[in-house]
């Protein structure tokens, strides 16, 4: 499990979210490296039929939602994101259930 995956698993287990900036700082990564890794993670989660762990990230000015790139990537993979808040909430709810010991 990568550092990113470990950090997201910890957040899911605590029922928490994090801003992209805070996650990048926690990992010691540049923002570009983080967003690239999150896009790959979205693809991997979708392929495996898992909730999208990148839903645990929130844009600083996005009202608690993931950034637009999350929704664009999810839509490109066939997810219905016509209700962004509902989509993010459903992904997070699944992650919080899965993340509980």
C-alpha span between 35 and 24 (Å, rounded): 9
- 53 in Cβ contact with 5 (< 8 Å): yes
Structural domain count, the chain: 1
Q: What is the predicted pLDDT for the residue at 63?
A: 87
Which residues are CB-neighbours of 47 under 8 A, at least 6 positions away?
none
Mean pLDDT confidence for 21-47: 97
Range of the domain at 93: 3-99
5's tokens: 């995956």
Q: What is the predicted pLDDT for the residue at 84?
A: 97
Q: What is the predicted pLDDT for the residue at 100?
A: 62
pLDDT in tens, 39-98: 999 999 999 999 999 999 999 877 899 999 999 999 999 999 999 999 999 999 999 998
């Amino acid at each position: 499990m990568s550092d990113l995956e470990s950090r997201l698993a910890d957040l899911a287990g605590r029922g928490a979210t994090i801003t992209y900036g805070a996650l990048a700082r926690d990992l010691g990564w540049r923002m570009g490296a983080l967003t690239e890794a999150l896009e790959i993670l979205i693809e991997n989660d979708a392929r495996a039929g898992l909730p999208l762990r990148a839903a645990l990230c929130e844009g600083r000015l996005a009202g608690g939602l993931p950034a637009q790139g999350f929704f664009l990537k999810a839509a490109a993979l066939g997810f219905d994101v016509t209700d962004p808040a509902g989509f993010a909430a459903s992904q997070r709810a699944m992650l919080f259930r899965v993340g509980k010991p």
